[in-house]
Amino acid sequence: MVSGVGIDLVEIARIEKILARWGEAFIRRIYTVEEIDYCQKKARPSIHFAACFAVKEAFLKALGSGLSGGISFTEIATVHDSKGKPSVKLAGKAGFFLREQHLGRPAVSISHTDALATAIVVIEKRTGESGFDGE
């Protein structure tokens, strides 16, 4: 059973302006080390920073709590497997909240163009023993 769905759309030009103005201060406040490494290796990092930001926002929308639940952006990370498939890795209050609410592993899909990045996150209620462990 689906517990929550979140979607977000980010203008890449907006992220580029923020990066130009705030640079490392913005990056370190919003992204994990893993995300920073991934994005900075790309030909156009701003596209990937925008996509990771969209995942964070979509995840918070799927939870229904936003940042008001005390979850920080750096507790929500976009990671990719060896084939490039994205998933969400949680830490701190974000992982605790999923366990406490008996929610399953979030499913994520990301897409982008030269101008826009989007992400959708679906969280299901956990059934049985195969729940979410935070990683």
Instruction: Indicate which residues carry an active-site annotation.
Output: 61, 112
- CA-closest candidate to residue 59, choices 101, 8, 121: 121
Element (H, E) at 77: strand 76-80
Q: CA neighbours within 13 Å on the CB side: how many for 61?
A: 16
Copy the structure tokens of residue 40. 């900075």
CB atoms within 10 A of CB 26: 15
**Residues 10, 51, 31, 106, Cα dihedral to 10°:** 110
**Rounded-to-integer distance, Cα 86 and Cα 66, Å:** 21
